[in-house]
């Protein structure tokens, strides 16, 4: 089947663009966007993915809103459709993503009607995109992950309406990433071929740290991964200052303060060393709440527990509200208490002791199994 991309001179396989080069059902190609208010009035994220081998295109939007009195709610909206025959449309139900100018301007639109939600936002680049190192691992001989990603810091403008609450988005922090390839937790299931990666992580411990941020003076992205004993297994990142200074991250060390009785950070300190020997010190403190990522479809989310990229027919949608007031546990709409696999936080970021209300980013800090180098057991 021919698509618009087949008019280009960019083919890499002897087939049309409606196919991908892998038969793995988990093959994905996905956008993620965040728009965060440094004053904590509202936090926003959305995403859209194509899953060529599952014949699926899905998307989501989520908002954090303070509750009257105290507490935080997370409003989740999930939409999915059959990918074919409209492969060229980056749209699912009311959600659409339009690339106005590659790597510079993107329009995010959710049309009013089906849900108590609408938004019209323009994402504008603050920094050029940073390519991550290629991610590739095998588990028992089978590729567990084989994907590429770039990350970019920006600013966001426009308007969001949730129910009767309208919020003007005036120069909020904006982060985004675009990743594609083969990744776990896609397409409804994982093949069992022996001791899985999740079993390994629970046994030996693992720490995953991912940050994208910007302020008036500096921005960028950092990714660090460790085994539970503190052995580094992946270090990557790039910081860029308005002054022209650049740092390619070679290594990093982390100190974490946790909410009592949890594995959720309330303060992170990160010491980075660049490939040229220069250093930078970062601190992260959550602004409002911690995303319960299963509400967006990650971590085997959706009501059927099948996660992102699972075929649910020509069109299907879900909407719910989580109480995310507690940093670790989440109260679902039916009153059940759930502990998500991971929480991610809109955060104020301090760089070398300097911070402003515009020094904002998206901080991921996920721990599995025993992590004795941070003072945590099982």
Is 6 inside a domain boundary? Answer: no
- Domain total for the chain? 1
For 141-159, b where at least 16 C-beta lie within 10 A, e where not — what string?
A: eebbbbbebbbbbbbbbbe
CATH number at residue 131: 2.40.370.10
Read off the pTM. 0.94
DSSP SS3 for 251: strand
18 within a domain of the structure (yes/no): no
Give percent of the chain above pLDDT 70. Answer: 97
Structural domain contains residue 10:
no
Asked if the model's pLDDT at residue 33 lies above 70, the reply is yes
Which pLDDT belongs to residue 359?
A: 92
Q: Looking at the domain assignment, is residue 21 inside a domain?
A: no
142 — pLDDT class (breaks 50, 70, 90): confident
- Is residue 3 in some structural domain? no
Instruction: With respect to residue 96, please indicate whether it lies within any of the assigned structural domains.
Output: yes
Residue pair 215/171 in contact (Cβ under 8 Å)? The answer is: no
pLDDT digits (tens, 9 = 90+) for 260-292: 999 999 999 999 999 999 999 999 999 999 999
For residue 338, what are the β-bridge partners? Answer: 330
Q: How far apart are CA 248 and CA 353, in angstroms?
A: 20
Residue range(s) defining the domain that contains residue 51: 27-374
Q: Which region among 61-65, 176-180, 187-191 has the lowest average model confidence (pLDDT)?
A: 187-191
In a domain, 13, yes or no: no
Whether residue 274 lies inside any domain: the answer is yes
CA distances from 271 to 49, 282, 319 (A): 34, 6, 40
Which stretch of DSSP H or E encloses residue 77?
Answer: strand 72-82
């Amino acid at each position: 089947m021919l698509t618009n991309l087949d008019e280009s001179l960019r083919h890499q396989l002897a087939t049309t663009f409606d196919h991908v080069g892998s038969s793995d059902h988990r093959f994905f190609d996905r956008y993620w966007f965040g728009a965060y208010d440094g004053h904590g009035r509202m936090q926003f994220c959305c995403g859209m993915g194509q899953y060529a081998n599952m014949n699926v295109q899905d998307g989501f939007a989520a908002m954090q809103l303070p509750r009257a009195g105290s507490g935080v709610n997370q409003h989740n909206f999930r939409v999915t459709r059959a990918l074919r025959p409209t492969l060229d449309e980056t749209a699912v139900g009311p959600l659409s993503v339009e690339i106005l100018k590659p790597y510079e301007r993107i329009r995010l639109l959710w049309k009013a009607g089906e849900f108590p939600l609408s938004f019209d936002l323009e994402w504008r680049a603050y920094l050029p995109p940073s390519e991550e190192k290629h991610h590739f691992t095998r588990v028992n001989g089978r590729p567990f992950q084989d994907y590429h990603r770039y990350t970019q810091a920006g600013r966001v403008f426009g308007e969001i309406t949730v129910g009767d609450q309208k919020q003007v988005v005036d120069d909020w922090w904006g982060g985004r990433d675009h990743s594609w390839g083969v990744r776990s937790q896609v397409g409804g299931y994982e093949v069992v071929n022996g001791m899985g990666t999740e079993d390994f992580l629970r046994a030996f411990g693992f720490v995953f740290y991912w940050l994208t941020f910007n302020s008036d003076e500096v921005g960028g992205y950092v990714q660090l991964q460790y085994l539970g004993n503190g052995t580094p297994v992946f270090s990557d990142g790039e910081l860029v200052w308005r002054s022209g200074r650049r740092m390619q991250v070679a290594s990093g060390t982390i100190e974490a303060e946790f909410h009592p009785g949890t594995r959720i950070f309330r303060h992170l300190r990160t010491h980075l060393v660049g490939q040229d020997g220069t250093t930078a010190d970062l601190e992260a403190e959550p602004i409002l709440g911690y995303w319960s990522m299963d509400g967006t479809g990650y971590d085997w989310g959706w009501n059927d527990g099948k996660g992102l990229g699972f075929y649910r027919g020509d069109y299907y949608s879900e909407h719910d509200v989580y109480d995310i007031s507690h940093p670790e546990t989440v109260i679902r709409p039916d009153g059940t208490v759930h502990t998500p696999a991971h929480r991610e936080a809109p955060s104020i970021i301090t760089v070398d002791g300097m911070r402003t209300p515009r020094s904002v980013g998206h901080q991921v800090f996920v721990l599995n199994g025993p992590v004795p180098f941070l003072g945590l057991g099982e």
